[in-house]
Structure 1
Amino acid sequence: MSERKIDEISGVETTGHNWDGIEELDNPMPRWWLWTFYVTIVWAICYTIAYPAWPLINSATTGLLGWASRGDVRQEMQVAEAAKADYVAKIADMPVEDIIADDNLRQFATAAGAAAFKVNCVQCHGSGAAGFPGYPNLNDDDWLWGGTPEEIQTTIAHGVRYEEDEETRYSEMPAFGDMFSREEASSLAKHVIAMGQGGDLTGPGAQLYADNCASCHGETGAGDQALGAPDLTDAIWLYGSSEAEIIAQIRAPKHGVMPAWQARLGDVTVKELTVYVHSLGGGQ
């Protein structure tokens, strides 16, 4: 058991603690430190009396001064809302094309759209809007349903294959898994790859493509935005461009769903998102 004693060298009493023969001196704290500590205690007590501090069941103590930072924040928000009210009103009344043509409105809508994008869209399209496998890249110029401001607005407002919206974009590629043998699917995939690479288009997959795919993707494979049929001749692939990935899409195609944002966000925010997405560089 440790014992308190007087240190022979310093003459200071020890605390009784001992670590491997090393003893701790019980030196008193500096007076200035103690007084500073006492002042902080008094300050804390005064603060909790003067300002909101102690949580209650449904609220908190209001403090003698009755001040709260929420009031200042509320006032600042009201000032900010009033400052942008004119811009919001104009955006609500103007078509997207006119908003983009107005420099001030375009800058405001782009900034507001960027904020809305970070809250609602980055989960699928990424923080830089570059997308992921199965989620389109919004920076390129390959648009399944068209990249004009009006077309982008329609896609954002009504979504894609979103059953709760009657005006949603809708297209669905048939599953050819029961129609084609694996060899036929491979021949068709090779033909599709050749269409984008300038290869031989006279192979066994040519007739399969003409009979089953050209009605939507076009004879040259350039796609049809009115049908939501992708361009098969470029280097942009939503689900992968390897032969195995194309075969998988032919046999059992994947169909993504994009929510309709009009009812959730309102007309103004949809327009702001439209302006922002169009500004990324890929808009037509």
Structure 2
Amino acid sequence: MTAGWSWYVIVLVAINILGCVWLLWWTGKRRPGDPAPTDTSHIWDGDLTEYNKPMPKWWINLFYITIVFAIGYLIYFPGLGAIAGVAGWTSSGEHAAAKAREDAKLEQTFAPYAGKSIDVLAGNPKALALGRSIFNNTCATCHGSTAQGAIGYPNLTDDIWHWGGTPDRILQTVLDGREGVMPEWGKVLTGMGGDNAVDYVVAYVRTLSDPASMQNNYMAAQGKALYEGVCVACHGIDGKGNQELGAPNLTDNYWLYGNSSESLRQTITSGRHGTMPAHRQLLGETRARLAAAYVWSLSHPVGKPPATTVQ
């Protein structure tokens, strides 16, 4: 609060208090020439008379005591502009103290799960219930309440993991986030193969999940050479990707940004930039473990053998 606003508040409070004192004093005293309390001439039904008697002294004194209490309150607590008050109380301090108490309760709740592997936590019903709650409050905004994702947001219920699907890799993703970047290759490919170069690569990439479609496919044949000149650095010669880079497997027919030709063309031409935020600071390690355990359980339910293909 600036000094100007602080003085504005102080003056306004002082005027209101002094105004209340003056009003009580002015209206609570009788002056020479005032009519008698019974002399109002307001009579109804012959015996109902309106009087004009002053308020009892105890009532007026109670108002004065209230004003004195208000002055003491404003001295003790911060109510006069930027003056802190002798108690040193602040709303931010009150919030911090309340937060510390609630955080201590949360720590007691989460303490039994600290440091445990997420595949172990996934077998604990109580841990899964907590993990699901954390997921719904934090992760469902992007991945959906069913965790099946959307265009640009991965489906967490299948066995396809661009950055690896082991417990440690999933936990690392939740804790520290991921930065997936697909560079813009439109100009490079056009320079190498002409105006149709991107379409050639799209055609070849589609054959990676259906090798039989490569036969007698002129566009795919043209795209194969372009792919091997540019794309293999991240996706590999066989198109199975690289989990260290987050480069997706192109042979599984799963497309994070959609499988239409237009979507694939845009991905190659203009690139993509996907960000998974880090949650270490937001959730803390134990809550992040619980959320990761819930995510891991979606593709590894109890009683189901682990998936043989982790991508």
- Would the TM-score normalized by the shorter structure come out above 0.5? yes
Residue in structure 2 matched with residue 113 of structure 1 by the alignment: 131
Residue in structure 1 matched with residue 117 of structure 2 by the alignment: 95
Choose which of 175, 188, 191 in structure 1 pairs with 2:184. Answer: 175
Residue in structure 1 matched with residue 214 of structure 2 by the alignment: 200
The yes-or-no answer on 1:230 pairing with 2:243 is no
TM-score (norm 2): 0.57
> What is the RMSD of the two structures over their aligned residues, measured on CA atoms?
2.5
1:97 is displaced (CA, Å) by 4.2
Distance 1:128 1:135 in 2: 12
Which ranges of structure 2 fall in alignment gaps of 5 or more residues? 1-100, 301-306
Q: String of CA shifts for 1:177-213, please: whole Å, max 9, x gaps.
A: 2212240000010000011122217611111111101
> Which of 1 and 2 has greater Rg?
2
The yes-or-no answer on 1:124 pairing with 2:139 is no
Q: How many residues align structurally?
A: 193
SS in 1 for 2:214: coil
1:98 is displaced (CA, Å) by 4.1
Please give the residue correspondences for 1:241-260 in structure 2 after superposition, counting only pairs within 5 Å: 241-260=259-278
* Maintained 8 Å contact 1:97/1:150: no
Distance 1:253 1:174 in 2: 5
SS in 1 for 2:256: coil
SS in 2 for 1:204: helix
SS in 2 for 1:209: helix
Q: String of CA shifts for 1:127-151, please: whole Å, max 9, x gaps.
A: 1001010000001111010111111
* Maintained 8 Å contact 1:153/1:270: yes
* Maintained 8 Å contact 1:113/1:274: yes
Moved more, 128-137 or 232-241: 232-241
1:224 is displaced (CA, Å) by 1.1
1:95 is displaced (CA, Å) by 3.3
* Maintained 8 Å contact 2:121/2:290: no
Distance 1:96 1:279 in 2: 9
* Maintained 8 Å contact 1:125/1:132: yes
Distance 1:89 1:146 in 2: 28
The yes-or-no answer on 1:188 pairing with 2:201 is yes
Distance 2:115 2:267 in 1: 43
Residue in structure 1 matched with residue 154 of structure 2 by the alignment: 136
The one-letter code sitting in structure 1 at the alignment partner of 2:264 is I
Residue in structure 2 matched with residue 213 of structure 1 by the alignment: 231
SS in 2 for 1:155: helix
Distance 1:177 1:270 in 2: 38
* Maintained 8 Å contact 1:146/1:152: yes
* Maintained 8 Å contact 1:189/1:205: yes
Q: String of CA shifts for 1:241-281, please: whole Å, max 9, x gaps.
A: 12221111001012121211010111111000011000001
* Maintained 8 Å contact 1:185/1:247: yes
Residue in structure 2 matched with residue 27 of structure 1 by the alignment: none
The one-letter code sitting in structure 1 at the alignment partner of 2:203 is K
The one-letter code sitting in structure 2 at the alignment partner of 1:179 is V
Residue in structure 2 matched with residue 30 of structure 1 by the alignment: none
The one-letter code sitting in structure 2 at the alignment partner of 1:189 is V
1:232 is displaced (CA, Å) by 0.5
Distance 1:220 1:258 in 2: 27
The answer to which structure has the higher helix fraction is 2
The one-letter code sitting in structure 1 at the alignment partner of 2:210 is Q
TM-score (norm 1): 0.63
